[in-house]
């Protein structure tokens, strides 16, 4: 075990590249600013999923633009030019914030959540977008939108982002270049990924929710553990479909769900053409080791 | 309106066939034995979805084999040789039976329901299968299984059905030929429909649940009505994928969800190669009229 750990240590500073020379971007998922130390220590090449929910949870009111800006700025500065992909507010379902006054729902996982709230309440969405765009001058930011199911939603998002950019420019506030992408975590997004790819720079496949909807199984329901199969052929086929559709449009594709760190699938993902894996910081070096041993 | 009704009356006894000679099986959905009158009156060519839940709901204990047998026998005899597709118990989610002692679930639509209960409690499932198989000598029965997501489930179903058939034959009880099929109502079933088609005689696409899971939208949640789009491209592409996969394996495909009766899509469904539409009895002649006017 100690030997294994020592070997992984030697992989710090090395590339995540197969023996055949195929590079994979190996990023980390983080859920708060306190995870940053672990990201650096484990030599992640970027942050593939910055869950912004911690800014919204455990408090009595919405976080202000200034509060958010300070956090995003600190993260991108700490990452010093490496990519930081910030996922916009993914509240709803099992993550509730009382001050948003969300109603009780019969099936919260199939409910009013994430981008649905943001597009329904654009003023709330715009505060987060302003904070992210302002932070973008300090580093290399990507913005990622959760739970998208349609082209109409993407069009609305783009329109709102353009509005915010214009407001900032009109106020002489500088912004950097940002990539925009969506989580692919609904079967709908998979099936129309060819169309969505034309409008976005990248996709990140959220295998947890995607599996939940594809198998129609609440992954937190212990009664169904027996039939919940993360390696289900339907999921692997969806991933291939998304990669193929994305690459045809010059869009890159990552995986940020738990499956991304499943080393029994790393070889398959590389064969499929997956460009990025975003995993828990503590798993970065383990996955790098597997990639470097692939032929 | 009266004129329209008179015109539809003239379609009774006629075929559901396009001008180019393409026949579509036009069946009816029923939810209880009292719907049979309407099925006959509207000249449905069979029953594409016999929802057996009414036998299980609004009572204090499971229906006996004998009770079920009498109902199935009456339906197939009434239909006099026309196809009757009985869907096995689709309890759970919004259809609850107290005596089954199902636990409360956070997301019942993604929960312990339908075939999941049947495969978990095979003794209960076998009672229904015995009743259906016994009724099969009196007419033309198909058995249809709801909420399937995997080949393993289909294998288990086939094994249980074979056991029941053997038990009946050993007891000198006659059974007829039955077709077996599954509802395609989960994205998982769509994605592996090529494999499932090898094991089944037919598919019936349940567009209501399929849309709910594909779009990750509880269709009973009014907060999401604005974004619930039954004509979503993802759904139409899934239907095409299922038809193509099924036909390659000699499996026929119907649609029994609400979309099946949506006459703005009838032409598209025929072009896609859909073999059967199962609709509310009152809509049979309307859909027949549309089919007969297709080129
Ligand atoms: Mg998610
Ligand atoms: Mg259903």
Q: Token pair of B102, please?
A: 């199902």
**pLDDT per residue as tens digits for the range B253-282:** 999 999 999 999 999 999 999 999 999 999
- Residues A74-94 as b/e (b if ≥16 CB within 10 A, e otherwise) read ebbebbeebbbbbbbbbbbbe
**pLDDT per residue as tens digits for the range A115-145:** 999 999 999 999 999 999 999 999 999 999 9
Count the alpha carbons within 13 Å of B246 in the hemisphere toward its beta carbon: 27
> Max Cα separation, chain B?
57
Q: Which residues in chain B are contacts of A106 at CB distance < 8 A? A: 94, 108-109, 218, 220-221
pLDDT for residue B244: 98
Angle at B183 between CA B181 and CA B186, to 5 degrees: 140
Residues sharing a CB contact under 8 Å with residue B135, sequence separation 6 or more, in sequence order: B69, B72, B73, B75, B76, B141
Q: Which residues in chain A are contacts of B188 at CB distance < 8 A? A: 214-216, 232, 234
* pTM (global) more than 0.95: yes
Q: What is the mean pLDDT of residues A85-105?
A: 91
Spatial contact of B187 and B238, defined as CB atoms under 8 Å apart: yes
pLDDT for residue B105: 94
Q: If you measure from the C-alpha of residue B181 to the centroid of ligand 2, how many angstroms do you get, rounded to a whole number?
A: 14
Flag if A221 and B110 touch (Cβ within 8 Å).
yes
Q: Which parts of chain B sit beneath pLDDT 50?
A: none
Q: Which of A96, A107, A212 to mutate to test the interface with B (most CBs of B within 10 A)?
A: A107
Please determine, for residue A191, whether its predicted confidence score (pLDDT) is greater than 90.
Answer: yes
Q: In terms of CA atoms, which chain A residue is nearest residue B195?
A: A233
Of A221, A232, A237, the CB nearest to B111: A221
Ligand 1 is an ion; residues with CB less than 5 A from it? A 185, 206, 209
**pLDDT per residue as tens digits for the range A71-84:** 999 999 999 999 99
Which residue, among A248, A159, A255, has the nearest Cα to A196 in the 3D structure?
Answer: A248
């Amino acid at each position: 075990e100690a030997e294994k750990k020592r070997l992984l240590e030697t992989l710090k500073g090395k590339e995540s590249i197969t023996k055949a020379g195929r590079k994979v971007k190996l990023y980390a998922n983080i859920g708060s600013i306190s995870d940053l130390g672990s990201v650096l220590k484990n030599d992640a090449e970027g942050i593939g999923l910055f869950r912004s929910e911690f800014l919204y949870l455990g408090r009595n009111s919405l976080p202000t633009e200034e509060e958010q800006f300070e956090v995003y700025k600190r993260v991108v500065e700490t990452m010093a030019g490496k990519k930081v992909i910030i996922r916009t507010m993914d509240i709803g379902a099992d993550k509730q914030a009382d001050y948003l006054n969300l109603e009780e729902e019969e099936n919260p996982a199939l409910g009013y959540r994430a981008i649905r709230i943001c597009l329904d309440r654009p003023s709330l969405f715009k505060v987060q977008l302003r904070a992210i765009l302002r932070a973008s001058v300090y580093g290399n930011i990507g913005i990622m939108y959760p739970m998208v199911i349609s082209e109409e939603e993407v069009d609305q998002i783009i329109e709102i982002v353009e509005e915010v950019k214009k407001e900032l420019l009109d106020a002489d506030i500088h912004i950097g270049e940002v990539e925009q992408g969506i989580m692919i975590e609904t079967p709908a997004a998979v099936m129309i990924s060819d169309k969505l790819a034309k409008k976005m720079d990248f996709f990140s496949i959220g295998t947890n929710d995607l599996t939940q909807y594809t198998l129609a199984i609440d992954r937190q329901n212990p009664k169904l553990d027996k039939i919940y199969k993360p390696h289900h052929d339907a999921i692997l086929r969806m991933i291939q479909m998304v990669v193929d559709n994305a690459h045809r449009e010059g869009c890159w594709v990552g995986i940020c769900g738990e499956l991304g760190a499943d080393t029994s699938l790393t070889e398959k993902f590389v064969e499929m053409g997956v460009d990025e894996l975003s995993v828990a910081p503590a798993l970065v070096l383990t996955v790098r080791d597997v990639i470097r041993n692939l032929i």
